[in-house]
Amino acid sequence: MFVMHNSTAHSRSHNGSIACGGRTCIERLARATTPHCPITSSVITATRAKTISMAAAAAAPTSNVVPVDTTLNPLVASVKPSKTMALTDLATSMKEAGIDVIGLAAGEPDFDTPAPIVEAGVAALRAGYTRYTPNTGTTALRKAICKKLQDDNGLSYSPDEVVVSNGAKQSIWQAVLATVSPGDEVIIPAPYWVSYTEMVRLANATPVVVPTTPEEGFLMSPEKLAATLTPRSRLLILCSPSNPTGAVYPKEHLEALARVVGAHPRLLVLSDEIYEYITYAPAKHVSFGALPGMWDRTLTVNGFSKAYAMTGWRLGYLAAPRIYAKAAAIIQSQSTSGASSISQQAALAALALGPGGGEPVQQMVRAFQERRDFVCARLRGIPGVNLAEPSGAFYVLPEMSAFFGPGAHADGFGPVPDSDTFCRYLIEKANVAVVPGDAFGADSCIRISYAASLETLGKALDRIAASLDPKIYKRRTGSS
Ligand SMILES: Cc1ncc(COP(=O)(O)O)c(C=O)c1O
């Protein structure tokens, strides 16, 4: 992650913390645990000194009080913080510091939640839907989800096979915890969504990453899958349409993967379908669990964040054979309990918009497609950019390795060895925030989110192109 420090621009936020921003001192801090900014450091040091002296004073009368053991669970140390969230936060703090930064790092639609959904949320509040709901969600919502899965996806579930959670992220986390034992292997095609590998590590299991290339359309071949499997393989995580590549697995490709999956005695599939509705023809979304023989082995995850522009409402769901749904429900019952009652009422209105999210969602999808075409055309105009055109979601993942590695150098900045440094260069010199590919297991790429207006995207691409002008930017030399 990047944390930006500026010795000239500091402001105090409403809660009294120090925010710092500016161009003079943008530092890469992999885990951002150490305050590097001199002003922030001195404030923190002073606060710590005060806390320690207060603790010492409090401890003085009872001499048997010893310093506390602050050891953390070692699993925490094995987990990387989310770079997409860190970069989005950085872009926000730069904006707050008065810098004209364009943030294309966030994984959320720039549109407002469609009005009928908002109205349903407001009506829910007024009608008193303000109490706990059943742990796995209201019966009405789980029934509506079953109908959606049947109508849109050809998947038959009963309401007790559906668990509604606080976002699809929680659904995925619970699905991993419910199915994966310590030491199990989880197959994750790369480039992958940032959280999959880290969730697997938190579950004390082993992520097995299978790289794919733009030339393969970022699709994992059945041969690669077969070569990866061992007796310890427990879960394959598929994401189609994909964040970060925008790739959509065609039906025949999924069928070929299903043949490999079906031959393995233990292998389950977590099918993350959260971008299902954001698919551009001729690409067509197919649910893995609807393929012959796959229902028993598939845990389907979907949600409301992306399709309905409802990221802040925090609502997602898992649909899975009863044994897995029940296990996920047990985990949820002892952690968060049921999702927001208000969001669940709003979600009923979302599902009532019809197949594919109805006209409000299709309007957003048309806008995303126009932006996808625009961004891809502009990127293709930059020599050295290697692009697999996305067929869904709202990201493009250009392969940019011509721009970093041995010999890559920018005047007034320095060497550019990897995607992390390249993105730091873009945010510092072009004031455009995008995410380094290493966050997704694809260090030769960067991820650009095109969930922004055409005008903003045009401005961002002008800045990126200008910052890569050969007069100031020297590309890598050699072939490695
Ligand atoms: C591929 C993928 N799955 C799941 C999620 C989680 O979505 P939420 O928790 O907002 O429902 C995201 C969000 O970025 C995502 O990109």
pLDDT tens readout for residues 379-391:
999 999 999 999 9
**Domain boundaries, position 194:** 115-353
Q: What pLDDT was estimated at residue 33?
A: 30
Q: What are phi and psi of 416, to 5 degrees?
A: -125, 85
Q: Is residue 479 part of a domain?
A: no
Q: Is residue 376 part of a domain?
A: yes
124 and 103 in one domain? no
Q: Is residue 319 part of a domain?
A: yes
286 and 365 in one domain? no
- DSSP notation for 244-268: TT-----HHHHHHHHHHHHTSSS-E
Number of domains in the chain: 3
The reply to whether ligand 1 has any atom less than 6 angstroms from the CB of 108 is no
Q: What pLDDT was estimated at residue 17?
A: 34
Q: How far is the CA of 169 from the centre of ligand 1 (A)?
A: 5
Residues 6+ apart with CB under 8 A from 454: 370, 371, 374
Residue positions counted in the chain: 480
Structure-token match 């703090």, residue found: 93
Mean pLDDT of 119-134: 98
206 and 72 in one domain? no
252 and 149 in one domain? yes
Tell me which of 126 and 60 has the higher pLDDT: 126
Q: How far is the CA of 270 from the centre of ligand 1 (A)?
A: 13
Nearest-CA neighbor of 26 among 58, 1, 54, 52? 1
Stretch (H or E) spanning 329: helix 322-333
The reply to whether ligand 1 has any atom less than 6 angstroms from the CB of 249 is no
Mean pLDDT of 279-285: 97
Burial label for 250, CB within 10 Å (0-12, 13-18, 19+), is middle
Nearest-CA neighbor of 235 among 276, 281, 183, 275? 183
Q: Is 368:452 a contact under the CB 8 Å cutoff?
A: no
298 and 194 in one domain? yes
Ligand 1 atom 12, closest CA = 169
The reply to whether ligand 1 has any atom less than 6 angstroms from the CB of 460 is no
Q: What is the CATH number of the domain that holds 438?
A: 3.90.1150.10
DSSP state of 438: G
Q: Which band of pLDDT confidence, cut at 50, 70 and 90, is reported for residue 60?
A: low
Mean pLDDT of 161-177: 98
Amino acid at residue number 37 = C
120 and 153 in one domain? yes
Q: What pLDDT was estimated at residue 15?
A: 35
221 and 93 in one domain? no
Instruction: Give the CA radius of gyration of the chain.
Output: 24
Q: What pLDDT was estimated at residue 64?
A: 87
467 and 387 in one domain? yes
C-alpha–C-alpha distance, residues 309 and 116, integer Å: 12
Q: Is residue 480 part of a domain?
A: no
Which residue, 336, 353, 370, sits at the end of a domain?
353
Residues 6+ apart with CB under 8 A from 324: 175, 178, 179, 268, 299, 318
204 and 70 in one domain? no
From 193, 237, 279, 314, mutation site for ligand 1 pocket: most ligand atoms within 8 A of C-beta: 193
pLDDT tens readout for residues 397-420:
999 989 999 999 999 999 999 998
93 and 242 in one domain? no
Which residue, 332, 353, 374, sits at the end of a domain?
353
pLDDT tens readout for residues 356-384:
999 999 999 999 999 999 999 999 999 99
101 and 123 in one domain? no
Which residue, 323, 353, 383, sits at the end of a domain?
353
Mean pLDDT of 178-190: 97
Stretch (H or E) spanning 4: strand 2-5
Rounded to 10 deg, the angle between the 341-351 and 115-126 helix axes is 140
Q: Is 386:302 a contact under the CB 8 Å cutoff?
A: no
Q: Is 97:9 a contact under the CB 8 Å cutoff?
A: yes
Q: Is residue 206 part of a domain?
A: yes
148 and 194 in one domain? yes
pLDDT of 283 above 50: yes
Q: How far is the CA of 40 from the centre of ligand 1 (A)?
A: 33
Q: Is 216:397 a contact under the CB 8 Å cutoff?
A: no
Exposure letters 161-196 (e unless 16+ CB within 10 A, then b): bbbbbbbbbbbbbbbbbbbbeeebbbbbbbbbbbbb
Burial label for 41, CB within 10 Å (0-12, 13-18, 19+), is middle
The reply to whether ligand 1 has any atom less than 6 angstroms from the CB of 273 is no
Q: Is 391:402 a contact under the CB 8 Å cutoff?
A: no
Q: Is residue 12 part of a domain?
A: yes
pLDDT tens readout for residues 222-261:
999 999 999 999 999 999 999 999 999 999 999 999 999 9
Q: Is residue 125 part of a domain?
A: yes
pLDDT tens readout for residues 294-337:
999 999 999 999 999 999 999 999 999 999 999 999 999 999 99
Q: Is 90:27 a contact under the CB 8 Å cutoff?
A: no
To the nearest whole percent, how much of the chain has pLDDT over 90?
79
pLDDT of 38 above 70: no
Q: Is residue 377 part of a domain?
A: yes
Q: What pLDDT was estimated at residue 355?
A: 92
The reply to whether ligand 1 has any atom less than 6 angstroms from the CB of 270 is no
